[in-house]
Amino acid sequence: MSLTSKLHALRPQKKFKTKISSLQKKEALWGLFFLTPWIIGFIGLYFFPMVASFVFSLLEFNPTVPDQAAYIGFDNWRRALFEDPEVGLSFLRTIRFSAISLPIGLAFALFLAVLLNSKNVLGSQLYRTLFYMPSMIPLVATVLIWNGVLNEQTGWINIIIQNLTGIQAVGSTGLRWLADPQLVYLAYTMFGLWGVGPAMIIFLAGLQGVPTELYEAAEIDGASWFQRLGKITLPMITPVILYQLILNVIGSLQYFLAPFVLNRGTGFPEGMTRFYMVYFFKQSFTFQNMGYGATLAWIMFIVGIILTVILFGTAKYWVFYAAEDKE
Amino acid sequence: MRNKRIQILFALLVVALLIVACSPAQPAATTAVKATDAVAEVPTDKPAPAEKVQVRWFVGLGAGSDEGTFAPQKAFVEEYNASQDEIELMLEIVDNDVAYDTLSTQIAAGNAPDIVGPIGVRGRDSFKGAWLDLAPLIAENNYDLSDYDPALVKFYLIQEQGQLGIPFGIFPSFILYNQDLFEEAGLNLPPAKYGEKYVMPDGSEVEWNMDTLRDVGMMLTFDSNGNDAKTDGFDSTKITQFGFMNQFTDPRGIGTFFGSGSLVADDGKTAQIPDAWNAAWKWTYDGYWKDWFIPNGAYGGADFLQGPGGPFSSGNLAMIHIHTWYVAPWALGEVKFDWNLAATPSYNGTVTSKMHADTFCIPKGSKDPKSAFKVLTYMLSKEHATSLLSIYGGMPARLSLQGDYFASYTETNFPDKDDINWDVAVAGMAFADNPNHESWMPSFQETTDKYNEFWNKWSNTAGLDIDAEFEQLRVALQAIFDAALA
């Protein structure tokens, strides 16, 4: 019997009761009582705003002149889905950026976690703290710091590149990280790597949860480090990878702060940073098209749900839960 | 038993938290300044007595958000509050970068301020439909408008919206130049009067037009080897001084430098690029990438152009086209070079000197428009308008105040400089742009956003097919107009 089968066998079996005792009723009532603030909060702060935003999506609604609001049916939806090219473009930019930043970000976090999980690293606690520390800096400050670091005239990255390689990196004809459409996604990905600390910690927790006897058995069988990584470590932490993937996909769809802080959502350079959420914000709060903005928000909500469902749907093919039997 | 006590304790805690969370906030009367995401706010010193009506004054859409203006504006508010005991005027200064978003959020949240301004045409038209028609209040208070040019009063009478403002300040434009750089380059100064010729280094007299401006600008643009932009060995990758730029304006302002126009045709729905703007934009694009006398996007961020008041005050830019609001110590910054004002050049024999005209508006969402109007009349009064205009650097709209305004303005703000050529600013009013370069367009903010996106591209990318770019912009604007007017 495999280890997972044993664990499965040890799981408590469900018990069906036909009668609930008075003590359990009391406990259930207390449970509901304690849940009440959350339920009230959910209804007041999530459910009603969601219903309201759907109603807004059926209106032409400028919040600065609310008396001129008019019901227009599904015109906003038609415009967003079929007529406004910027919706598709901004969504494609988001996907393009995610395709670059998401794998790099996840791989980097996993890479750090694997390194820090190694017994051969001296002072791993210190490194964990150091790698986590940038995550404690507010994101706005991070973006502004990187704006300086990547400045084409005075940023030290360009200065180092120029000094080391002799390539003309500094100056108006140098590497314009934030102004060159070819480089800007890479630059934004670098911002993201600074905030890799929480993902690294979660990966680390996942790695530390892998039973050591599996490694010991593999070592006895003569498996190399890479074989152990590929055959034991990665499969065993696939639930963590799934979790991180879902969080990061949703986070990527909501990507907003860096382009907004850097250029007020102008899309500079050449519209490359007008991501979907930036466009949503501009429509809603700058252009005052609140009805149309609500439609864009709903579309993104639906896309987010679809992607999450797809990810969960594919999980059975690649995510390995240690406590389950895989037939 | 112990468990039950703990449960009761928890229950009480939850109830207490709910009560605290649901209790009403402190009434606004106890706060001197509303919390906003303002970059800078100047609260009044004393909390308002309960019987005083509070009137909130929002500053940020136009002049008034430079740090140097905070103290004098606060002093004005304090003086007003001390002058009467009915109204507590509260000042909210918001940085111009976020002022539009902040104001729209306030209005949308039902938290509109009572007075907004100084506000130009752009600020006003960005919130079309949100302003109160002042005509009933003007009639109710028998407010005397005879001290204003009737045409200027009419300027604020907007079709289907009403009288949205009363004239306050006028901000003509002109060329502002760094006299030291002209002297270092051995060049004659630009004309101090409209109609005067420019004397070239060889002694020839030429019309002061855009071609001359480009030539002079190139002769004032130098690389690190000391070559000017007209010299063969000029290295455009190592420029250390520029000749000219249209500072603190947008593509519509740059277009208007060559002639008045609008991105929307007279029918109000067709996107267009006026011929004069087409020429102005090409001239500027060549100035960025071919003639090199205008700082392009890459050079715009260069350290040597970062002055306290933008590129001009860095001392490495010879000429800019700008409005009177810039000629103030807090806007220009403390500069160590001599400067003065000159005539705007002509294009095809016609001068167009764009104009800013500011006023104060009362939002429809004001909780007490009558009190707001009382404050407004104080601000615009003959006795007090000059104090505000002196802060913002504008010419008085009141005819009776125009006489010796610049003499007193210079005495207050530039006591050590007695040669400022204000006459050229006053003369520039005769060449004001009509239609105004900030005037209404369909979906105002979205249109603004779109043309700025294109402009960012042009100022950062060499070698573009600029005619094709103009056409792409026109098509993009038409799509926005169509959606807005559908």
Residues of A in contact with B303 (CB under 8 A): 153-154
Structure tokens at B474: 């026109």
Does A120 or B168 have the greater pLDDT score?
A: B168
pLDDT of A5 over the 80 cut: no
Through-space distance between the first and last CA atoms of chain A, rounded to whole angstroms: 13
Same domain (yes/no): B369, B465: no
B13 touches chain A (CB under 8 A): no
Task: Using the predicted structure, report yes or no on whether residue B109 has a pLDDT greater than 80.
Answer: yes
Q: Which residues of A touch B452 (CB under 8 A)?
A: 266
Q: Which domain holds residue B267?
A: 180-353+433-485
pLDDT digits (tens, 9 = 90+) for B428-459: 989 999 889 998 899 888 899 999 999 999 99
- pLDDT at position A131 is 92
Supply the mean pLDDT for chain A.
89
pLDDT range class, residue A14, cuts 50, 70, 90: low
**What is the identity of the amino acid at A302?**
I
Confidence label for B484 from pLDDT (cuts 50, 70 and 90): confident
Closest CA relative to residue B478, chosen from B326, B274, B270? B270
Residue A177 lies in a domain: yes
On whether the CB atoms of residues B227 and B235 are closer than 8 A, the answer is yes
**Is B460 in contact with A34 (Cβ distance < 8 A)?**
no
Map tokens 């969504």 to a residue: A91
Q: Are strands B53-59 and B198-199 parallel, antiparallel or unpaired?
A: unpaired
Question: Which residues does A contribute to its contact with B (CB < 8 Å)?
Answer: 30, 33-34, 36-37, 62-66, 68, 75, 79, 83-85, 151-154, 171-173, 176, 179, 264, 266-271, 274, 282-283, 285-290
In this structure, the answer to whether residues B242 and B113 fall within a common structural domain is no
Interchain proximity A172–B100, CB inside 8 Å = no
pLDDT band at B32 (very low <50, low <70, confident <90, very high): very low
Rounded Cα–Cα distance for residues B440 and B120 (Å): 12
Contact in structure between A196 and A135 (CB atoms under 8 Å) = yes
Q: In the numeric block, which tokens belong to residue B224? A: 């690190």
Count of CB contacts below 8 A, A vs B? 89
Chain B CB contacts of A270 under 8 Å are 453, 456-457, 461
pLDDT tens-digit readout, B353-372: 999 999 999 999 999 999 99
In terms of domains, do B455 and B318 share one? yes
Backbone angles phi, psi at A59, to 5 degrees: -120, 155
What is the number of residues in chain B? Answer: 486
Query: Across the interface, do A266 and B452 touch by the CB < 8 Å criterion?
Result: yes
pLDDT band at A250 (very low <50, low <70, confident <90, very high): very high
Note whether residue B417 is domain-resident: no
Overall average pLDDT of the B24-49 stretch: 41
Chain B residues with CB-CB distance to A267 below 8 A: 453
Q: How far apart are CA B121 and CA B432, in angstroms?
A: 14
Cβ–Cβ below 8 Å for B456 and A270 = yes
From chain B, pick out residues whose CB is under 8 angstroms from the CB of A66. Answer: 108
Distance CA B456, CA A290 (A): 27
Nearest 5°: phi and psi at B361? -115, 155
Q: A91: which strand partners?
A: none
A75 to chain B: which residues are within 8 Å by CB? 486
Mean pLDDT for B42-53 is: 59
Bond into A239 cis (ω within 30): no
CB B318 within 8 A of CB B244: yes
Same domain, B212 and B261: yes
Q: Residue B147: its pLDDT value, please? A: 93
Which is higher by pLDDT, A79 or A323? A79
Give the closest of A172, A176, A266 to B237, CB-based.
A172
Instruction: Specify whether the backbone of A188 is left (phi greater than 0), alpha (psi in -120 to 50) or beta.
Output: alpha
Q: Is the pLDDT of residue A51 over 50?
A: yes
Report the pLDDT averaged over residues A116-135.
90
Tokens matching residue A292? 């149309």
Tell me which residue in A153, A268, A285 faces B303 most closely, judged by beta carbons: A153
Residue B125, in any domain of the structure: yes
Residue A5 identity (one-letter amino acid):
S
Reply yes or no on whether the pLDDT at B20 is more than 80.
Answer: no
Residue B456 and residue A287: Cβ atoms within 8 Å?
no
Interface contact flag, B460 A179, Cβ < 8 Å = yes
pLDDT band at A17 (very low <50, low <70, confident <90, very high): low
User: What pLDDT is attached to residue B80?
Assistant: 96
pLDDT digits (tens, 9 = 90+) for B456-469: 999 999 999 999 99
Beta strand residue intervals within B247-326, DSSP E: 317-323
Q: Which residues 112-151 of chain B have a CB within 8 Å of chain A?
A: 127-130
In this structure, what CATH number is given to the domain that contains residue A304? 1.10.3720.10
Task: Answer yes or no: is pLDDT of B13 > 70.
Answer: no
Number of domains in chain B: 2
Whether B386 is covered by a domain: the verdict is yes
Say how many domains are in chain A: 1
What pLDDT is attached to residue A3?
Answer: 40
- Find, among B199, B237, B191, the residue nearest to B219 by Cα: B199
Arithmetic mean of pLDDT, B300-311:
90
A265/A287 Cα distance (integer angstroms): 12
Q: Considering only CA atoms, which of B306, B271, B249, B264 is closest in space to residue B459?
A: B249
Note whether A36 and B21 are within 8 A (CB): no
Asked if the structure places residue B372 within a domain, the reply is yes
**A269 vs B31, higher pLDDT:** A269
Q: Please report whether residue A40 resides in a domain.
A: no
* CB < 8 Å to A154, chain B: 303
Helix (H) or strand (E) holding B242: strand B239-246
B184 and B311 part of one domain: yes
CA distance A312 to chain B (A): 36
Nearest chain A residue to B303 by CA: give it. Answer: A153
Assigned domain for A36 exists: no
Tell me: do B116 and B194 sit in the same domain.
no
A215 within domain boundaries: yes
A285–B105 C-beta distance less than 8 A: yes
Range of the domain at A314: 84-318
pLDDT at B12: 62
A99-108, A183-192, B42-51, B89-98: least confidently modelled range: B42-51
Q: Same domain for B62 and B136? A: yes
Tell me what pLDDT residue A205 has.
94
- Residue B7 has φ and ψ, to the nearest 5°, of -60, -45
Asked whether residue B94 falls in the same domain as residue B226, the answer is no
How far is A287 from chain B, CA to nearest CA, in Å?
5
Determine the average pLDDT of the residues in A63-86. 91
Asked if the structure places residue A288 within a domain, the reply is yes
Q: Are residues B112 and B101 in the same domain?
A: yes
Cβ(A206)–Cβ(A178) below 8 Å = no
Residue B463 in contact with partner chain A when CB distance is under 8 A = no
Strands B115-119 and B53-59: parallel
CB contact under 8 A, A64 and B453: no
Q: What does the pLDDT look like over B278-292, one tens digit per residue?
A: 999 999 999 999 999
Best of B236, B456, B459, B481 to substitute, by most chain A Cβ atoms within 10 angstroms, is B456
**What is the ipTM, given to two decimal places?**
0.75
Residue A211 falls within a domain, yes or no?
yes
Q: Residue B160 has what pLDDT? A: 80
Angle CA(B345)–CA(B350)–CA(B352) in degrees, nearest 5? 65
Does the residue A106 lie in any domain?
Answer: yes
Do B254 and B112 lie in a common domain? no
- A62, A64, A66, A70 alpha-carbon torsion, rounded to 10°: -20
Residue A185 tokens, joined: 């996604």
Measured on CA atoms in the order A203, A204, A210, A213, is the torsion positive or negative? Answer: positive
Q: What is the CATH number of the domain that holds B92?
A: 3.40.190.10
Cα A62 to Cα A287: distance, rounded to the nearest angstrom: 9
| pLDDT the model gives residue A18 | 60
Q: Which of A35, A64, A147 would you mutate first to test chain B, the one with the most B CBs within 10 A? A: A64
- CA A195 → CA A113, A220, B462, distances in Å? 14, 38, 35
Q: Which residue of B has its CA nearest to A33?
A: B11
- Is B145 a residue whose pLDDT tops 50? yes
B231 and B165 within one domain: no
Only one residue has tokens 């690293």, namely A121
> B466 and B335 in one domain?
yes
Q: Is residue B186 part of a domain?
A: yes
**3-state SS assignment for residue B201:** coil
What are the φ/ψ torsions at residue A275 (nearest 5 degrees)? -75, 170
Nearest-by-CA chain A residue for B448: A287
Outline where chain A has alpha helix (H). Answer: 3-10, 22-42, 48-56, 75-78, 85-116, 124-132, 139-149, 156-165, 184-194, 197-208, 212-220, 225-228, 234-236, 238-253, 257-263, 276-281, 290-318
Q: Does B47 map to a domain? A: yes
Query: Hey, are the CB atoms on A153 and B107 less than 8 Å from each other?
Result: no
Whether residue B313 lies inside any domain: the answer is yes
The mean predicted confidence, pLDDT, of chain B is 89
pLDDT at A33: 94
pLDDT value for B16: 60
**Res. B154: pLDDT tops 60:** yes
With 80 as the cut, is the pLDDT of residue A174 above it?
yes
**CA nearest A80 in B: which residue?**
B483
Residue B348 has a pLDDT of 97
